[in-house]
Amino acid sequence: MKRDTRMTACRSLRLAALATLLWACGSDEAGSGDGPEPALTPATDEDPDPAVLEVSLEARPAFKRYADAPETAVWTYNGSVPGPLIEGRVGERLRVHFTNSLPEETTIHWHGLRLPAVMDGTLATQSPVPPGGTFEYEFELRDAGLFWFHPHIRSDVQVEKGLHGIIRVTGSDEPEADEQRILVLDDVRVLADGSLPTYLDDESKMLGRQGNILLVNGEALPTFRWRSGVLQRLRIVNVANGRFFNLALPGYSWRVIGTDGGTMPQPYDTDHLLIAPGERYDVVVIASGAPGDVVTLMNDPYERGHDTGAEAPLPLAQFRVSDEPSVSGRALPDAFGEIERLPGGSSDEQLVLDEGLRDGTLEFTINGETYPSVPPIRVPVGAVRRLEVRNESEMDHPFHLHGTFFQVLSTDGIAAPMEALANKDTVIVPQKTTMQLVARFDEPGRWMYHCHIPEHAEGGMMGEADVGDAP
């Protein structure tokens, strides 16, 4: 396989992104702070039983205006981008009545949720829902955390068109905060006429459909209001196809209290919060300043491969200090409950990620093969497996595992520190790096693992773990 080591055409995409963002930032509407905050629309619980959360989701076409561009034809859940916020509690049974009103088949994958394999929404476990068809998803909410849902068929196209929504599951011991927000990070590439590109060139295949308009909760450069001196909890998810968000809040550091699988035993502080497609982070900060003061949430450059680190810093959102009375007294948390550390040891499975040209076509491979030719991993139910994920390519890949959480044991032979212990379902495997992961496969079925840049997964970087007797 020949390697394509450079993507010099990326420069034109970066310049287009910068020009569009500056245009959006200069509009009268963006960042004015006069309108309502862009919040997610809660899904309606249709069942009065407190033990059951019953909602209806319809995938259907609609129109949306991104920044000052003309209206864009999008695909939505229940008419909005992002889709509705499903809010449940650990132990509740979630029942979703899904209707497909799109012109093509689709599914719903429940990213990060531990559930029966037949509910996972992949083609390994479910037949696609045809246009006009319906499907009922039903499963117990087992874990507290922030999760999301999206299609797992032609996901590179369908997610970019707008099909993504959020699930927040609360537990009995939620971290305290004075104010809480969910921030859904995304980008979209909009042409001058408001349309989305239909042609996928090698640049977009390599980087993912990296957009020219950055979005928070579906809006370009929105303004959020916060009270000075109070503890802010931000639940952040990256639903973009290819963009890595390297978040900075000038004058502040992030205290990270949790990630994909819930809170971490040992929170940590960082000036930059790097979030790959599919990842979630739970952070807290204490706001400061006088009424009217504004701090801008920035996306700083990050080199994930192919000259992406040359991009300019770009603004994402503004936080404006309100004149509402402040309530103080809560301090930044410094510890949470313990989680089980899975055993380490030598690797049981080796997964080599790579990219390159084969017969003139750009492919993304695992162990030299493209899905569905990647041999499955076979695991008994309840077994613990150590996965050695080696990235031989020239760019970072966010590795995502369905059906269970994993923990990072080491990177290039250096053991992960005890304070970094966390349950993850998506992790960045940097270019030319080897990571040791460990997971317990306690649910039978066929579970996907793949790069969570959808263009890479659809291009072949995907495999299956066959746990027990697959259904």
pLDDT digit string, tens, across residues 230-268? 999 999 999 999 999 999 999 999 999 999 999 999 999
Question: Is the separation of the CB atoms in 246 and 274 below 8 Å?
Answer: yes
In a domain, residue 272? The reply is yes
The DSSP result for 302-355, as a single string, is ---BTTGGGSPPEEEEEEEE-SSPP---PPPP------PPPP--S-SEEEEEEE
Residue 35's pLDDT is: 66
| pLDDT tens per residue, range 444-456 | 999 999 999 999 9
Residues 196, 161 share a domain? no
Residues 377, 263 share a domain? no
Residue ending a domain, among 116, 138, 170, is: 170
Overall domain count for the chain: 3
Low-confidence stretches of the chain (pLDDT < 70) are 1-35, 328, 469-471
Residue 419's pLDDT is: 81
Residues 311, 230 share a domain? yes
Residue 21's pLDDT is: 42
Residue 55's pLDDT is: 98
Q: Rounded distance, CA 210 to CA 455, Å? A: 11
Find, among 169, 110, 160, the residue nearest to 142 by Cα.
Answer: 169
Residues 128, 99 share a domain? yes
Residues 213, 110 share a domain? no
The DSSP result for 190-229, as a single string, is --TTSPPP----HHHHHH-S--SEEEETTBSS-EEEE-TT
Question: Is the separation of the CB atoms in 426 and 404 below 8 Å?
Answer: no
Average pLDDT in the chain: 91
Residue ending a domain, among 130, 148, 170, is: 170
Peptide bond before residue 301 is cis, with ω within 30 degrees of 0: no
- Using the CB atoms, write b or e for 5-41: b if 16+ within 10 Å: eebeebeebbeebeebbebbbeeeebbeeeeeebebe
Residue 307's pLDDT is: 92
Residue 346's pLDDT is: 75
Residue 8's pLDDT is: 36
Residues 433, 358 share a domain? yes
Residue 114's pLDDT is: 98
Residues 299, 193 share a domain? yes
| pLDDT tens per residue, range 385-401 | 999 999 999 999 999 99
Question: Is the separation of the CB atoms in 391 and 304 below 8 Å?
Answer: no
Residues 300, 192 share a domain? yes
pTM: 0.93
In a domain, residue 446? The reply is yes
In a domain, residue 265? The reply is yes
In a domain, residue 292? The reply is yes
- CATH classification at residue 71: 2.60.40.420
| pLDDT tens per residue, range 322-364 | 998 777 678 999 999 999 999 987 789 999 999 999 888 899 9
In a domain, residue 331? The reply is no
Q: Rounded distance, CA 147 to CA 137, Å? A: 16
> Coil, strand, or helix at residue 11?
helix
In a domain, residue 359? The reply is yes
In a domain, residue 255? The reply is yes
In a domain, residue 330? The reply is no
CA dihedral sign, ordered 257, 259, 261, 264: negative
Residues 360, 460 share a domain? yes
Residues 63, 121 share a domain? yes
Residue 15's pLDDT is: 37
Residue ending a domain, among 170, 191, 215, is: 170
Residues 410, 394 share a domain? yes
Residues 367, 240 share a domain? no
Structural domain boundaries, residue 109:
52-170
